[in-house]
Amino acid sequence: LKVFVGGLPWRIDEALVRKDFEECGPIESFDMPKGKKGEPMGIAFVVYKTQEGVDNALTFDGDDYHGRRLRVKLSKPPARGGRDGKGGARGHGRGKGKGKGKGKSKGKG
């Protein structure tokens, strides 16, 4: 029953966001992650106690919230092995130096 909220203004008070999303239903936990320097990242994760709370929160998707357009979606755990399910999120899933090309040839030594 976890909801992802994106598009939050970076300078918004965490307590205000929590209060606004509590109007949807009782909250089990609320998290507004911060970046490396301690600044808000403009996202939040809300875990509701009821499906009704989730359904109500999802209706906020696309709404204007303090001048920004909200993205509210059901939060799903990340796929294992990266975004596309084929390995690491950046490269081609082979790791450093594990592809074709340079290196010693095998077999003849």
For 35-83, the pLDDT digits (tens) are 888 888 999 999 999 999 999 999 999 999 999 999 999 998 777 655 4
Q: State how far the Cα of 50 lies from the Cα of 106, in Å rounded to an integer.
A: 59
Beta-carbon contacts of 8 under 8 Å, excluding residues fewer than 6 positions away, are 17, 32, 40, 42, 43, 44, 65, 68, 70
**HSE toward the beta carbon, residue 80, CA cutoff 13 A:** 0
Does 92 score more than 60 pLDDT? no
pTM over cut 0.75: no
